[in-house]
Amino acid sequence: MKIELISVLALLFCLLIIGIEYIMHYRLAELQDEHTARIENIRHRLDVHVEGVLYAPTDSSRESEINALTDEINGDYEVYEMAVSTIRTHKGTSYHDDIEAQDLLIKQIDEKVDPVSIYAKMLDEGNVYHKGYACRRLAEMNAMEYRDKIKECIDTKNRDLAYNAAMALCHMGDLYEVAEYLLSIQDDHMYSGRIVNEFFAQFTGDRRELAELLFEKCNKYMKCTIIKTLEKYPIDAFRPMYIEGASGNDTQLKIACVKALGAFGYPEDEQILQMAAQDNDWVIRSSAVRGLSRLKSPTALATVKHALGDKEWWVRQTAAQAITKMDIMPSDLEEILGGYDRFAADAVKNVLYKTVDTE
C-alpha cells in the first residue's frame, strides 16, 4: 500500500509540474506574440515618421515629425536602435544613398533623445551583459566622459564584461588600459591570440605605441602574436626587430618575423627572405615564398619557381598562388606546365583553372 501511495503522490506531483510547464509555456508564447506585435507596430510607426520627416512640406512640420519620432523612442534603447536602423535603410527617393542626410537626421534625434544617457543608465543599472553592451555602445558614441566607469568594468571577475569594457576602451584609444588588459590575459594562450588580433584591428589610438608598450612587458607568445597581427599594419620602426627575429633560431618568432617582413615588400629584405625560403620548417618557407612574391624581382621569381617543387604540399600551393600574381612570362608558365616537375605543374594548373577563363 505504501508504494502505491508514493506512486500516486509522485503522479500528482508530475501533473503539478506539467501544469506549471503549460502555464509557463503559454505565458512565454503570449509574451512573444505581444513582443512581435509591439515591434511590428513600432516599426510601422517609425516608417511613417521617417517618411514624414523626408517629405515634410515645411520646417515646422518636419520639426513636429522629429518630435514624434523622439516621443516614440521615449528612452527605450531598443526603439532608438530600430529608429536608427529605419533611417539607414529607408528607401525613399534618393535618401537611402544620402549618408549625410541620414547622419543629420540621426544627429537631430540624438540631440533630443540623448542616447548616451540611455546607455549610461544601462551601464549603471543593468546586469553584466547589459553593462557589457552599454560599454560598447558608449564607446561607439565617443562618450569619453564615461571612460572611468568603463575602466571600472575591466576589473570585474566576469570575463565577458571585462572583454567588452576593454574593447570599448580600444574604441576610445585608451593606450594604457588596453595594454594592461592584454598583458593580464597573455598567459591564457587559448584566449589571448584572437583578442590581440581583434584589439589591434579596433584600436583607434597609435598602434605603434601600443605595440611598443606591449613588447616591453609581454612574454614570447604574446610577442609573436603581436608581430603576426602587425603584418596587416606594417610599421617601419619595428623592421630591425623583425630582421633580427627572422635571422634567429626561435622557430615561432622566425615565422612571425618572416611574415611581417614579407608584408613590407622592401627589396632590401630579399636576402633574408631568400634564406628563409630554404629553411627546414615548411611554415617559414611558405611565409617567405609569399613575401618574395611581393618583390617581383627575377631572383625572387626564381625562388618561387623552385618552391613549386617543394616537398611540402602547402609550400607548393603557396608558390603556385604567388607565381600567378608575379610578372611571369608565358614561356615560363609553359616551362612549368610542361616540365618534369609534376608537383609544380599540378599546383600551377590548379590555380590557373580558377583564375583564367578556360571555358
Partner 1 sequence: MGFLNAVRSFIVVFNYFCMAFTLLLSVIYIIQLFVSFFRVHRDYSKSFSDDFHSYVDSDNLLPISLIIPAYNEQENIVQNIRSLMKINYPMYEIIVVNDGSTDKTGELVVNAFHMHKIETSIRYQIPTQKIEAVYYSKKYPNLLYVQKANGGKSDALNAGINISRYPLFTCLDADSRVEKDALLRLALEFIKDSRTVVAGGIVRIANGSKIVDGELKGFSMPKKLIERFQIVEYYRSFLMGRVFWSSTNSLLIVSGAFGLFRKQTVIDVGGYKRNTIGEDMEIVVRIHRYMRKNHKKYRVKFNELSVCWTQGPMSLNDIRSQRRRWQIGLMDTLISHFGMTLNPRYGFVGLLSIPYNWIFELFGALVETIGYFLIPFTLLMGELNMFFFVIYFLLSVALGVILSQGSLVLEQYTHRAAMTAKQSIAVSVYAILENFGYRQLITIFRVEGIIKYRKLHKTWGKIKRKEFEQ
Separation of alpha carbons 242 and 224, rounded Å: 10
CA distance 171 to 288: 34
Instruction: Count the residues of the shown chain that bind partner 1, applying the rule CB under 8 A.
Output: 52
Which one of the spans 14-22, 45-53, 72-80, 203-211 is the region binding partner 1 (CB under 8 A)? 14-22
**DSSP letter for each residue of 77-99:** HHHHHHHHHHHHH--STTGGG-H
Least distance (Å) between residue 35 CB and partner 1: 8
Cell numbers for 239, please give them: 623592421
Q: Per CB under 8 A, which of residues 216..275 are in contact with partner 1? A: 232
Q: Does 39 bind partner 1 (CB under 8 A)?
A: no
Interacting residues of 130 by C-beta distance below 8 A, sequence separation 6+: 122, 123
CB of 311 to partner 1, least distance (A): 13
Secondary-structure percent of the chain, ordered helix, strand, coil, rounded to 5: 80, 0, 20
Residue among 154, 147, 207, 142 at smallest CA distance from 180: 154
Q: Which is nearer to partner 1, 335 or 346 (CB)?
A: 346
Considering only 63, 191, 271, 278, the residue that binds partner 1 (CB under 8 A) is 191
State yes or no: residue 346 binds partner 1 (CB under 8 A).
yes
Q: Measured between alpha carbons, how far is 195 from 216 in angstroms, rounded to an integer?
A: 19
Question: How wide is the angle at C-alpha 140 spanned by C-alphas 81 and 149, nearest 5°?
Answer: 105
- Looking at residues 95 to 154 of the shown chain, list those that interact with partner 1 (rule: CB under 8 A): 127-133, 136
In the complex, the smallest distance separating the C-beta of residue 350 from partner 1, rounded to whole angstroms, is 5
**11 lines the binding site for partner 1 (CB under 8 A):** yes
Which of 104/201 has CB closer to partner 1?
A: 201
Q: Smallest gap, in angstroms, from Cβ of residue 181 to partner 1? A: 16
Can residue 38 be called a binding residue for partner 1 (CB under 8 A)? Answer: no
Q: At what angle do helices 313-323 and 342-355 cross, to 10 degrees?
A: 50
> Using CB under 8 A as the criterion, which residues of the chain lie in contact with partner 1 when the complex forms?
3-4, 7-8, 10-11, 14-15, 17-18, 21-22, 24-26, 28-30, 32-33, 35, 127-133, 136, 160-161, 164, 189-191, 193-194, 197-198, 201, 232, 313, 343, 346-347, 349-350, 353-354, 357-359
